[in-house]
Amino acid sequence: MPESSSTTTPLGAFLRDRRTRMDPASFGFGGRRRTPGLRREEVAQRANISPTWYTWLEQGRGGAPSADVLDRLANGLMLTAPEREHLFLLALGRPPAVTYSRPDHVTPRLQRVLDALPNSPAIIRTATWDVIAWNTAATRLLTDYGKLPREERNVLRLIFTNSASMAAQEDWWSIARYVVGAFRADAARAGATAEITAFVDELCRISPEFKSLWRENAVADHADGRKRLRHPELGLIELEFSMFAVEGRSDLGMLVFNPATPDSAGRIARLMCT
């Protein structure tokens, strides 16, 4: 079917733009070409839809495609997560259904952001509150995550099952209540409700306190706050905490603790210099 440079909808223009950016040789498509990128029938083949139906989509004909077709097109065109979301918004007026995939690392650039905070403990945690990155200040003041097995690097597991972490919280019950409510909200928002079932059941068996708080069904929104932490070398220190979204990674959040008083700031600075 002959190519056409005209498109009648934003969806058609987006599909054509992404199609023409793809390298045919990377997918085993050869032959001489008058235009860059894949042909329409090649995209249709990769997405397992009919060439006619794909052509109609580029031309703005045939109505709105189903979510399944959009998923196949996103895979066939190798769209990034933001591009996939944009495809759904153009075609259906809504983002795709949320599915959760547990990340296990951060980019070097994001790690450098953490490392640029020498006296402020900072961590990157997932929607299910697994800690996947941290800075030196977090190691010295909060927990040496690097010495923990991967499955133990979870904020809730530390708060409810780790005796050292529990003893360090000056107001443990308030912190625990906040963490449980925020964890519940984050998991639901990320579409990870099914993924946390076994973890929640385990904590309910291990910790009566967690079981009681979980049964309250409370939900907490992220907010700035303040906590008092008992440190083995510094004694009682006061910290402010703030949660930041990671741009382009809705499944990740950056939690930063800053000294809340000049006295705490001075003692932390001296510790970090040793």
pLDDT at 59 over 80: yes
CATH of residue 27:
1.10.260.40
The per-residue pLDDT for range 184-229, each reduced to its tens digit, is 988 888 778 888 999 999 999 999 999 999 999 888 876 688 999 9
The bridge status of strand 131-134 relative to strand 225-231 is unpaired
On whether both 239 and 114 belong to a single domain, the answer is yes
What digits encode the pLDDT tens for the residues 101-147?
667 788 888 999 999 999 999 999 998 999 999 999 999 999 999 99
pLDDT at 5 over 70: no
Residue 137 near residue 119, CB atoms below 8 Å: yes
Residue 75 pLDDT > 70, yes or no?
A: yes
Is the pTM value of this prediction over 0.85?
no
Per-residue CA distances from 45 to 4, 34, 36, 53, 146 (Å): 19, 20, 17, 11, 46
Q: Residue 165 belongs to what domain range? A: 108-273
Whether residues 24 and 159 fall in one domain: no
Residue where one domain finishes, among candidates 68, 92, 116: 92
Amino acid 101: pLDDT: 63
Residue closest to 7 by CA, chosen among 48, 18, 173: 18
